Amino acid sequence: MQVFEFHFNPKVKPDLIFNGFCFEPQNIYEKRLGGLYLAGALKGVLPQNIHLLEHLTQTIKQQYYKNSLRNPSKALQEGLKLGNTFLENISKKGDVSWLGNLSFAAISLKNFELNFTKTGEIKIYLLRGGQVIDIDKRLKFEELEPYPLKIFGNIISGKLAEDDIILVLTEELLIPFQKLLTEIAALTPLNERDLKEIFKKREEVLSKISGLCLLISLTKAALPRKKEMILGSRRPVKEFAFKNIFSTSAFLSIFNPTLILRRVSRLRKLIKKPAFNASALLSIFKMPHLPSFRFNLKFNSRKTKRTPSSSSPSLPRTEARFLIFILVLVLIVGFFFSKREEKINLKIYQETFRQIQQKTNEAEGYLILKDNPLLQERANSLLKESQNNILNLIKIYSQAPQGFKNQITELENKISNSLFSLNKLTEIQDPKLIFEVNPREFIPQKIIAENNNIYLFSPYAPNLFKINDRTKEGAIMPIDKKFNAAAVSNGSLLLFSKPNGFTILKDGQFQQTITILTLPDYTYNDFSSHQSNLYFLDEKNGQIIKYSYLGNSDWSPPEAWLFPSTKKAIEAKSIAVAGSVWILNKDNSISRYYAGQLQETLKLNIFPVLKDFSKIMAVSGLSYLYLLEPQEKRMVIINRTGEIIRQFRSAKFNNLLDFSVSENGKTIYLLNGLKVYEILF
């Protein structure tokens, strides 16, 4: 196996980190599992995530080599499973900044057996006989769920041949390398000099981008791994020398307080044993950040007694005392260094805190001018930026003096209160519960309000569940049909069953079931009613299908309502019609269509930060749009220009499935699991 790792301009983008991690078997047990090769990149890096790739890698690696009785595929699966848990725990602590920004590839190789997976914008190619094969196209990842978080999905397995090359590229290198892949595939054998020559031809382009290129060549000879900082030279292996210990990076590694504490703990355990073990004692002083050294230390040749339990020579007492003296000296110097570092960091954090205060004061100045929407928006932006900064400050500097901590907390509360007020957010401690369904009777998924009744239904189970809003009594209305969506039209309730069936409910009684014509290759996933017309959303084709009511329960043939030239609503999530047609898009923007043409698209800038709206609703005659966001446990009401009217949030809204609005728009009904809550607006 021969491994080459090239880092292209790692400092060009401060908010981008990337690295490769190659683990070759170190003993007979690890050889049963073969090599593990990991590569990752993280965009938009926050200070708390600067070491995320290293921590994720160590988590996967430790689990991979934990049990040598497993096969490599199972070992990789278990490693990735623990990696998912590691990332999930980070998210549960509130840090989701890495979501959507993390790209990661995991590859295991034993002999010529390949197992691999990836997530994000990172590519894995197989170079064989001059050909380039995009092998990660076979990966199909499941839709991500917020909890439990699943970042790594399927594992692909296969057989490789001698001289095959696995090539891993991070996102920014994908386009520039398209013209280089064939040249690299033609190299036989793969070697550093020719690779650099190929890169040099594209130096002008490669010098402006930042990324990782990892190559694994399956050769018979076990050659050393090459790691290059483009276009630098490979560092030779160094003999041990004290001058190397006191080089800048090595010196900092020695006096790292965390490492010092670990060494003290290990030393305490070691000196309790009857005799010192030389290799064990030396391992205490092993510095992980030092260059690769070969230790050629010679100890006193006098004979020392062996204990029966020790298989290696014990360390002479004189040398042991000397090493203990060195360790104590390191502890003392390290203590002073850590104290000095604390003071420097405190000054940095205090300066950051002062800058946040300035932004907050500037925002408060804008808030005074309430009649100026532009200045209000500017204040909102400054306050959100200040809150992000202060939350990062809290995470980074958890060991701050209590007085400084109090200042930070006080400012954070002040910013939050201003944002709540500016974004018209109301926290509801105890929302009004109007009904709770018995799960033995019915498990609802959808809700619709009509007249003085509330109806619950599900696309997975037959029947309709009716709740009287006045008496707060509920009962099942038996019908052997499952319903996917519902809307109120002309004083009746229209219940839609896929693919093209309607059941009409009027005056609390099922009237009839009708079938409508459909366009070929169209799949209806949501619909809305307005002025006796039905508007269906087809997320696959992005089209809106219109049906006009002809009377006597008859509907016109389907009409593709959007003009051919207008932008389609592909992968949209929800539709609402009230004068205009409002579409909730995949990216949480809201598009307004009128007369078959796209008129505008609204992008909301609200606090708390928008994550994922699930449904939009409008009421005829009112200028409001209602939006549900389960992840933030809230309802958002905006006007038709995107201005926030009200927000309602509650910790009890922990399983929001659907919502409906009364005909006057003043009452919102929320289906939260089995419970129905009411909000008066």
Ranking 241-250, 279-288, 442-451 by mean pLDDT, the lowest is 241-250
φ, ψ dihedrals at 118, nearest 5°: -160, 165
Answer whether residue 324 is part of any domain: no
Q: What is the pLDDT of residue 225?
A: 53
- Both 415 and 510 in a single domain? no
Contacts with 90 (C-beta within 8 Å, 6 or more apart), sequence order? 52, 98
Q: What average pLDDT score do residues 53-64 get?
A: 94
Contacts with 261 (C-beta within 8 Å, 6 or more apart), sequence order? none
Q: What is the pLDDT of residue 187?
A: 87
Q: What average pLDDT score do residues 301-327 get?
A: 53
Task: Point out the domain boundary residue: 422, 441, 474.
Answer: 422
Helix (H) or strand (E) holding 20: strand 17-23
Task: Point out the domain boundary residue: 205, 234, 263.
Answer: 234
CA distance readout (Å), 515 to 124, 492, 667: 49, 17, 33
pLDDT band at 142 (very low <50, low <70, confident <90, very high): very low
- Both 155 and 274 in a single domain? no
Question: What average pLDDT is seen over the chain?
Answer: 80
For the chain, give the percent of residues with pLDDT over 70.
Answer: 78
Query: In terms of pLDDT, which residue wins out, 151 or 415?
Result: 415
How far is residue 9's CA from residue 231's CA, in Å, rounded to a whole number? 9
Q: What average pLDDT score do residues 563-580 get?
A: 92
Q: What is the pLDDT of residue 327?
A: 74
Answer whether residue 437 is part of any domain: yes
Helix (H) or strand (E) holding 387: helix 373-396
The CATH number given to whatever domain includes residue 107 is 3.60.40.10
Q: Is the pLDDT of residue 298 over 50?
A: no
Closest CA to 116 of 125, 107, 124: 107
Answer whether residue 239 is part of any domain: no
pLDDT band at 75 (very low <50, low <70, confident <90, very high): very high
pLDDT band at 72 (very low <50, low <70, confident <90, very high): very high
Rank 136-150, 281-295, 616-630 by mean pLDDT and report only the highest. Answer: 616-630
- Both 580 and 561 in a single domain? yes
Ranking 16-20, 125-129, 433-437 by mean pLDDT, the lowest is 125-129
Answer whether residue 204 is part of any domain: yes
Helix (H) or strand (E) holding 3: strand 2-8
Q: Is 638 exposed, middle or buried (0-12, 13-18, 19+ CB in 10 A)?
A: buried
pLDDT band at 301 (very low <50, low <70, confident <90, very high): very low
Q: What average pLDDT score do residues 360-369 get?
A: 76
- Both 620 and 494 in a single domain? yes
- Both 264 and 347 in a single domain? no
Q: Is the pLDDT of residue 288 over 70?
A: no
Q: What is the pLDDT of residue 221?
A: 52
Ranking 183-192, 390-399, 409-418 by mean pLDDT, the lowest is 390-399
Q: Is 2 exposed, middle or buried (0-12, 13-18, 19+ CB in 10 A)?
A: buried
Q: What is the pLDDT of residue 313?
A: 47
Q: How are strands ordered across the β-sheet holding 113-119?
A: 17-23, 35-42, 102-110, 113-119, 156-159
Q: Is the pLDDT of residue 294 over 70?
A: no
The CATH number given to whatever domain includes residue 462 is 2.120.10.30
Q: Is the pLDDT of residue 419 over 50?
A: yes
Q: What is the pLDDT of residue 240?
A: 38
- Both 74 and 167 in a single domain? yes
Q: What is the pLDDT of residue 235?
A: 37
Answer whether residue 175 is part of any domain: yes
- Both 278 and 361 in a single domain? no
Q: What average pLDDT score do residues 569-598 get?
A: 94
Query: In terms of pLDDT, which residue wins out, 138 or 599?
Result: 599
The answer to whether the beta carbons of residues 655 and 672 sit under 8 Å apart is: yes
The answer to whether the beta carbons of residues 186 and 198 sit under 8 Å apart is: no
- Both 495 and 376 in a single domain? no
Q: What average pLDDT score do residues 22-40 get?
A: 91
Answer whether residue 120 is part of any domain: yes
Q: Is the pLDDT of residue 554 over 90?
A: no
- Structurally, the chain folds into a number of domains equal to 4
Q: What is the pLDDT of residue 634?
A: 95
Residue-wise pLDDT tens digits, 341-361: 666 666 777 777 788 888 888
Q: What is the pLDDT of residue 399?
A: 58
**Which residue bears the tokens 């020695």?**
254
Q: How are strands ordered across the β-sheet holding 624-629?
A: 425-427, 644-649, 634-639, 624-629, 615-618
Q: What average pLDDT score do residues 398-408 get?
A: 69
Rg from Cα positions in the chain:
32
Task: Point out the domain boundary residue: 234, 263, 290.
Answer: 234
Q: Is the pLDDT of residue 246 over 80?
A: no
Q: Is the pLDDT of residue 81 over 80?
A: yes
pLDDT band at 397 (very low <50, low <70, confident <90, very high): low
Closest CA to 128 of 93, 96, 164: 164
- Both 257 and 388 in a single domain? no
Answer whether residue 325 is part of any domain: no
Answer whether residue 335 is part of any domain: no
Ranking 101-115, 222-236, 443-457, 537-551 by mean pLDDT, the lowest is 222-236
Q: What average pLDDT score do residues 319-333 get?
A: 71
183 residue type, one letter:
E
Closest CA to 619 of 530, 493, 502, 496: 530
Q: Which domain holds residue 643?
A: 432-680
- Both 596 and 642 in a single domain? yes
Q: How do 293-294 and 238-239 pair as beta strands?
A: parallel
**Which residue bears the tokens 């160094």?**
238
Q: What average pLDDT score do residues 545-564 get?
A: 89
Q: What is the pLDDT of residue 476?
A: 95
- Both 397 and 443 in a single domain? no
Q: Which two tokens stand for residue 629?
A: 């966001």
Q: What is the pLDDT of residue 303?
A: 38
Rank 248-252, 536-540, 574-578, 609-613 by mean pLDDT and report only the highest. Answer: 574-578
Residue-wise pLDDT tens digits, 481-530: 999 999 998 888 999 998 888 999 988 889 888 888 888 888 888 899 98
Q: Which two tokens stand for residue 259?
A: 């490492």
Ranking 111-120, 123-132, 353-362, 394-403 by mean pLDDT, the lowest is 394-403
Q: What is the pLDDT of residue 153?
A: 65
Q: What is the pLDDT of residue 309?
A: 40
- Both 560 and 605 in a single domain? yes
Q: What is the pLDDT of residue 367?
A: 74
pLDDT band at 230 (very low <50, low <70, confident <90, very high): low
Closest CA to 592 of 579, 604, 580: 580
Ranking 102-116, 282-296, 471-485 by mean pLDDT, the lowest is 282-296
